[in-house]
Structure 1
């Protein structure tokens, strides 16, 4: 090969390399332009999330390590003093136990009754009417529901009146003033209000199940309860997990009904972690101590949500 041919081949290689570099540089500029364009569209949402969610959470965590009480002590670092005080109080254990009761009740009763109603109402005559009636309490504000049921449970309320008619003698039970009835009464009100949304979500999940596996099971001679147990329920598991997450979060954050309906009860049976936090922060002015309670609640919610998300992923893999 002559020197001229070698030079020509080198020039071609160089030009090709320059072309590749130009294409790569153009692609990098395009990626940067796309990134900043996407960032410009996301900036308002990021500002809202940062200003309304991330900053308050970060500030509350900082607040829990200070000695802030009302309008003084925000700049005084207290270390883990608030957490040591929190875990050393008997009220915290009462509130934690009551919150656990609420979480379990919010998981078992609404989900169980909602699933039963979804199965029974699916495909029946006047299905829409029954669904609307059951879902109606969900559109009411929890505070309004608490006030209504506060008078239903009153000594001269509807429940005692019905019991008086059935038993034939006056009944004046103080359902919200006795330690053994106040929590079940409030939980029953919570179930009455939330079972509708659980039923609707499960009905949506049932309607999304393909018909082929169900028809195949019926052709093989499976009875209705066997079809539901071995075919429908396994395929409904992802929806059940989502509904369970919503129900558990509702149990952790229960406040309105407890505050409205349990205000007249002087014991600790209606003291949940959220009510305890509100009482300490806004009634007693211990904002740093209330912030510590909020951090504990947030950590518990994140832990439970992570566990349920792992269960949901496992359930989805089983369905596939």
Structure 2
């Protein structure tokens, strides 16, 4: 049998490679069709309940649609111009930034402190359950409970009266200088439990070898936490930060239940402003414009924090 020439061998290898590539391409197409068939119900659900409403809201924000009037007029950017012409939007944006900062700093710092203090102590699970308990309650129920706690004749003023020995009847939710701090304290009380649990999971995932090595080198406990544990806990802290910031941007339940109409603008967040304009005043198009602005802000913050998380993970590696 005559040996194949070099050109024939090259041709045969090329034909074999093309046949393998064709089979792989056919297999990928078949796998894609199968996967798409399984994903189709979920895609339809997401499209119907998420993508379409978002797209429709964006279109709605460029119209002059009011309640029960229909898509009458296309007004371009007029609704967005109105946002910056009213003091309420500016006040709502300022209050929202306060909520974002407060939702980031206080729950995270307190949750981290509790996670460090409770880890490994006696009755750890009991304390964790008690701190986590407010998280399982509906925000509306929490708002109603604390509304009566902060009432002039409520529990807080009663305790202050016992401590000071004189009658205290402060309207915590009726005064400009106390309402924001009061609602923030309620928010921290409800959310610190989930932050603590997430950070406890992050602490449990940290390997013992670097910690033991630092202890053998004579590092003090606070030095071990600052220079060894916290850097390794950074990915979990970034996730917790994202959750906290999004909670600040979307704050509605507590503000509406505890502060609606009392000090007025002091409890007006962007989400409350959107709800009030769309559902209370019937200006759905203008409320849609507020929702678009909120969405853009959330996307920007989420993108920034995702980049921060990627950097944190590289630092750990």
TM-score range, shorter chain: over 0.9
Alpha-carbon distance in 2 for matches of 1:11, 1:93: 77
Q: Indicate conservation of the 8 Å contact 2:91/2:265, yes or no.
A: yes
SS of equivalent residue, structure 1 residue 123:
coil
TM-score, L = length of structure 1? 0.94
SS of equivalent residue, structure 1 residue 88:
coil
Q: Indicate conservation of the 8 Å contact 1:114/1:195, yes or no.
A: yes
Which of 113, 117, 141 is the aligned partner of 1:116?
A: 113
Matched, 1:107 2:104: yes
CA-based RMSD: 1.9
SS of equivalent residue, structure 1 residue 174:
coil
SS of equivalent residue, structure 1 residue 48:
helix
Label 1:245 to 1:19 Cα distance change in 2 as closer, same or farther (>3 A). Answer: closer
Alpha-carbon distance in 2 for matches of 1:15, 1:133: 73
Counterpart in 2 of 1:57? 54
Alpha-carbon distance in 1 for matches of 2:13, 2:111: 68
Matched, 1:262 2:226: no
Counterpart in 1 of 2:65? 68
Q: Indicate conservation of the 8 Å contact 2:175/2:263, yes or no.
A: no
Greater alpha carbon shift after TM alignment, 60-69 vs 39-48:
39-48
The C-alpha deviation readout for 1:94-115, integer Å capped at 9, x for no partner, is 0000000000000000000000
Q: Indicate conservation of the 8 Å contact 1:67/1:78, yes or no.
A: yes
Label 1:16 to 1:314 Cα distance change in 2 as closer, same or farther (>3 A). Answer: closer
| CA shift for structure 1 position 6 | 11
Q: How does 1:1-320 map to 2 (within 5 A)?
A: 20-320=17-317
The C-alpha deviation readout for 1:143-180, integer Å capped at 9, x for no partner, is 00000000000000000001111111111100000000
Alpha-carbon distance in 1 for matches of 2:137, 2:204: 27
TM-score, L = length of structure 2? 0.95
Greater alpha carbon shift after TM alignment, 147-156 vs 66-75:
66-75
- What is the total number of aligned residue pairs between the two structures? 316
The C-alpha deviation readout for 1:254-295, integer Å capped at 9, x for no partner, is 000000000251420000000000000000000000000000
| CA shift for structure 1 position 27 | 2.6
The C-alpha deviation readout for 1:193-223, integer Å capped at 9, x for no partner, is 0000000000000000000000000000000
Alpha-carbon distance in 2 for matches of 1:224, 1:8: 74
Q: Indicate conservation of the 8 Å contact 1:176/1:264, yes or no.
A: no
Alpha-carbon distance in 2 for matches of 1:86, 1:108: 29
Alpha-carbon distance in 1 for matches of 2:220, 2:228: 11
SS of equivalent residue, structure 1 residue 269:
helix
SS of equivalent residue, structure 2 residue 177:
coil
Label 1:96 to 1:20 Cα distance change in 2 as closer, same or farther (>3 A). Answer: closer
The C-alpha deviation readout for 1:1-55, integer Å capped at 9, x for no partner, is xxxx799999888777655544433332212111111111111111111111111
Greater alpha carbon shift after TM alignment, 44-53 vs 170-179:
44-53
Q: Indicate conservation of the 8 Å contact 2:179/2:263, yes or no.
A: no
Label 1:79 to 1:168 Cα distance change in 2 as closer, same or farther (>3 A). Answer: same
Alpha-carbon distance in 2 for matches of 1:10, 1:131: 74
Alpha-carbon distance in 1 for matches of 2:197, 2:70: 49
Larger radius of gyration: 1
